[in-house]
């Protein structure tokens, strides 16, 4: 299919405006296609030719101002509209559209638990033409009016309030929307289970498939409480009221993203309807996602980017506000999770060859295919970090004044980076444009490395080496060893400093003697890689868990993680720090994050293959100590259990847990832990297909279906591996997006290198062919989930580089492979550093 370019979009936006889409969708035509009738009212300002996008199974008819167009004119997903005169026009397109199994367009899912079928749309960013005929670009906003014909027992939801016709069972009408972009059109349909309430005069709803009804009902009060609190907080900080007529949140199956901000109808992946025990951090993250998507009602839906170079105007703001508003409006304290998890995602992405500025230049995003690649740790985590720094630099009052000016000037319209920066400049007397150039138009993280020394006259001195070109407003935290308890430190002072936008070393002097521990960027207000001076690092190794603020501890742990990745800290030194401090670490999110790195990339890639078992042994020791000291904390017990299962390298213990239905001392094996444990037993060759099939029969829903696919692919048996490979790559494309990912996650394991070695050269051409057949979402999964991670060697790197050099991978697969190969090369450098 043709890819829309920025130049084409700009030309079409100059040529026409779009007033209204009237859609009529028929969902009763069977399990392969649905009916789609689109009537578009638009006005041409410049006479000439253009096109509308459409990707149907069958184009039945197209009428332009009552004149029939030749259906054979449709090519590469575009229907030409020629000879358009200035003035008003109307296009009506009747087509049959294909259902999707890749989470794009109109996705169709049949629940294996009960045989019921559910549909939902995902129109972002280029998928609207799989649902209706569209001028598919974000700056051609229009009113949408949607009618749907569905089976009588189904519920239909849309961007506005949906009502059922009294005298036509199965016929629904969705209230017209304000002007919105095509990528935000949403329809959800099926026998959904719903929980509803009202708040601030608006209907609020939660929806999921019936097999998850009891789980949604259990969490409905919590979800509604977070939704109401965030809704009210946004109305305290934004002068523009919520711009739509209802607020539904639908938890839908096999969703590719975490969630999608469709106005009035947010769609979430239904794994957020928890079916098993979860940690408090996982509940907190769900709350962040709720707050994030609600922020999009203003940033993205009310005011929309003009072109996809400004993805950050949507995602960075929603990311920042999701964390900040949840922090302000609820009991949660999510900035620690942001520092542990999300910023690490951003730092990693920002050091790969695929890095890009938070706000790339328009010419750097020449088409929608390249725009897809910018939904990453930079647009989300780094962009949110930049905004958090902007708030620290400007002050919250000024920041919010700029935001409200921005909304007032562009409501129900489109805006650019320049528009936003102008709004901030009007609200502030600081050089915002220069700040934006330094923070948003550049790539790569700065590095801040201190050196401390005693000064004269009861002072101490700091030389702070600043590698990078951004200004920073940050906090220095000075700590001293407690003379009565040398395993802990006591806070001495905090110092606020501003660094110029220069690659230089600055000199600072502070009263008192040299501190035992200095933390640069204490409180994590800025975005930069941090180092510790020699004395501070030695103190941290002894006292880290005694730092009073979890954000301070996180800054140190992140610095240690970066040092491992940069070959400056031996992996086993990191493991020793984890062994010493995690059992007494009070913040479970830090425990989980450090264990995840230790048992994942560190043990799996940064250490030589012959030392992996030793590293996993240390992880098991830490898990045992966490378990012993959990004191009944269910989150702590769950973290320890997950780590113990994943690090098991012999079947005896896991088989005993399986037989007992619990780990000694808890927790009991619920659905998720049973599948996790069975997967590990499969990897170790301690179970078989019959046991997997039996477990799937006992768990007949989609969780069991995915768990069984993962476990079957993990069996260390040549026939099982070949069957899994065929399911993924033989061209029949039997697997949905979720089942493909589950199979890929089960396939590669370090314990099975000898069995898997022959698949490494097969992987690159197979992934390339699949990406060309199955589109963006499956291309990303093939490059990320199915990459041969256990093979950290020069031969795999060479094969991957040869694949990239061939020019055959699609843009989405090329980006995923380039990132994975860069990670592989980094791991080889870490191994070489010893």
Radius of gyration of the chain (CA): 27
Tokens found for residue 776 = 């963006």
Residue in 252, 259, 269 with CA at minimum distance from that of residue 292: 259
DSSP states of 537-578 as a string?
HHHHHHHGGG-S-HHHHHHHHHHHHHHHHTTSS-HHHHHHHH
CA–CA separation, 746 and 708 (whole Å)? 10
Q: Which residues are CB-contacts of 302 (< 8 A; sequence separation ≥ 6)? A: 240, 243, 407, 411, 412
Is 293 an active-site residue? yes
Q: 276: exposed, middle or buried (C-beta count within 10 Å: 0-12, 13-18, 19+)?
A: middle
Tally of CB atoms within 10 A around 412: 13
CA–CA separation, 56 and 74 (whole Å)? 10
CB–CB of 11/46 below 8 Å? no
Residue in 529, 601, 500 with CA at minimum distance from that of residue 350: 529
* CB crowding 796-833: b at 16 or more within 10 Å, else e: bbebbeebeeeeebbbbbbbbbbbbbbbbbbbbebbee
Q: 248: exposed, middle or buried (C-beta count within 10 Å: 0-12, 13-18, 19+)?
A: buried
Q: Which residue is catalytic, options 53, 145, 293, 745?
A: 293
Order of strands across the sheet that contains 446-454 = 504-511, 459-467, 446-454, 528-530
CA–CA separation, 612 and 621 (whole Å)? 14
Peptide bond before 125: cis, by omega within 30 degrees of 0?
A: yes
DSSP states of 654-686 as a string?
HHHHHHHTB-TT--B--HHHHHHHHHHHHHTT-
DSSP states of 74-116 as a string?
-BTTEEEEEEEPSEEEEEEEEEEEEEESSSSEEEEEE-TTT--
Q: Which residues are marked as active site?
A: 293
């Amino acid at each position: 299919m043709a890819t829309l370019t920025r130049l084409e979009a700009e030309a079409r936006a100059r040529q026409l405006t779009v007033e209204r889409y009237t859609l009529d969708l028929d969902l009763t035509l069977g399990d392969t296609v649905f009916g789609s009738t689109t009537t578009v009212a638009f006005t041409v300002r410049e006479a000439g030719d253009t096109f509308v996008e459409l990707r149907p199974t069958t184009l039945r008819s197209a009428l332009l101002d009552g004149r029939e167009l030749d259906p054979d004119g449709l090519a590469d997903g575009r229907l030409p509209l020629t000879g358009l005169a200035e003035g008003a026009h109307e296009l009506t397109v009747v087509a049959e559209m294909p259902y999707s199994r890749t989470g794009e367009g109109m996705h169709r899912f049949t629940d294996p638990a009960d045989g019921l079928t559910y549909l939902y749309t995902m129109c972002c960013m280029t998928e609207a033409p799989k649902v209706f005929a569209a001028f598919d670009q974000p700056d051609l906003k229009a009113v949408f009016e949607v009618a749907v014909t569905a089976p009588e027992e189904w519920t239909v939801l849309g961007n506005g309030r949906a009502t059922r016709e009294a005298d036509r069972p199965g016929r629904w009408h969705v209230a017209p929307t304000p002007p919105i972009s095509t990528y935000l059109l949403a329809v959800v349909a099926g026998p959904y289970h719903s929980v509803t309430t009202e708040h601030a005069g608006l209907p609020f709803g939660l929806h999921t498939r019936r097999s998850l009804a009891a789980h949604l009902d259990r969490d409905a009060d919590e979800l509604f409480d977070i939704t109401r609190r965030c809704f009210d907080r946004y109305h305290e900080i934004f002068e523009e009221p919520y711009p739509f007529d209802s607020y539904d949140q639908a938890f839908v199956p096999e969703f590719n993203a975490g969630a999608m901000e469709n106005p009035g109808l947010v769609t979430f992946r239904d794994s957020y309807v928890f079916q098993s025990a979860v940690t408090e951090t996982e509940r907190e993250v769900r709350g962040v996602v709720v707050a994030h998507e609600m922020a999009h009602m203003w940033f993205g839906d009310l005011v929309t980017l003009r072109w996809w170079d400004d993805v950050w105007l949507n995602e960075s703001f929603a990311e920042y506000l999701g964390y900040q508003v949840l922090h302000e409006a609820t009991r949660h304290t999510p900035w620690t999770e942001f520092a542990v998890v999300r910023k690490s995602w951003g730092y990693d992405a920002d050091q790969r060859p695929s890095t890009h500025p938070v706000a790339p230049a328009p010419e750097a995003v020449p088409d929608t295919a390249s725009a897809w690649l910018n939904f990453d740790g930079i647009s989300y985590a780094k962009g949110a970090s930049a905004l958090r720094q902007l708030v620290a630099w400007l002050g919250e009052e000024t920041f919010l004044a700029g935001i409200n000016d921005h909304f007032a000037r562009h409501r129900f319209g489109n805006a650019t980076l320049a528009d936003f920066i102008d709004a901030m400049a009007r609200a502030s007397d600081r050089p915002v444009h220069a700040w934006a150039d330094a923070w948003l138009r550049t790539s790569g993280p700065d590095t801040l490395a201190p050196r401390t020394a005693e000064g004269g006259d009861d002072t101490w001195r700091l030389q702070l080496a600043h590698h990078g070109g951004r200004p920073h407003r940050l906090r220095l935290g000075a700590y001293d060893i407690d003379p009565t308890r040398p395993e802990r430190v006591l806070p001495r002072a905090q110092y606020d400093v501003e660094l110029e936008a220069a690659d230089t070393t600055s000199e600072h002097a502070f009263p008192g003697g040299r501190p035992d521990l200095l933390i640069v960027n204490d409180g994590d207000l800025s975005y930069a890689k941090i180092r510790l001076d020699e004395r501070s690092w030695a103190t941290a190794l002894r006292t880290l868990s005694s730092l009073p603020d979890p954000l301070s501890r996180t800054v140190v742990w992140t610095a240690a993680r970066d040092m491992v990745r940069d070959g400056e800290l031996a992996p086993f030194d990191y493991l020793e720090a984890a062994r010493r401090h995690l059992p007494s670490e009070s913040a479970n999110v830090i425990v989980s994050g450090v264990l995840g790195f230790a048992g994942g990339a560190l043990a799996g890639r940064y250490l030589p293959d012959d030392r992996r078992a030793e590293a996993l042994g240390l992880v098991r020791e830490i898990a045992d100590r966490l378990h012993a000291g959990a004191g009944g904390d269910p989150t702590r017990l769950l973290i320890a259990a997950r780590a113990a299962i994943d690090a098991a390298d012999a079947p005896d213990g896991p088989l005993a847990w399986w037989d007992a239905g619990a780990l000694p001392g808890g927790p009991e094996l619920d659905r998720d832990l049973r599948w996790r444990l069975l997967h590990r037993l499969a990897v170790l060759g301690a179970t078989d297909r019959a046991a997997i099939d039996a477990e799937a029969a006992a768990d007949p829903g989609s969780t069991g279906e995915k768990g069984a696919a993962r476990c079957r692919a993990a069996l260390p048996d040549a026939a099982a591996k070949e069957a899994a490979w065929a399911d993924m790559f033989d061209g029949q494309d039997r697997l949905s997006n979720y089942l493909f990912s589950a199979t890929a996650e089960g396939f590669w394991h370090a314990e099975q290198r000898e069995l898997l070695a022959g698949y490494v050269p097969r992987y690159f051409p197979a992934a390339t062919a699949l990406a060309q057949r199955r589109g963006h979402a499956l291309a990303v999964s093939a490059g990320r989930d199915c990459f041969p991670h256990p093979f950290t060697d020069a031969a795999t790197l060479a094969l991957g580089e040869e694949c990239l050099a061939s020019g055959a991978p699609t843009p989405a697969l090329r980006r995923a492979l380039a990132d994975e190969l860069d990670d592989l090369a980094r791991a080889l450098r870490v191994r070489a550093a010893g």
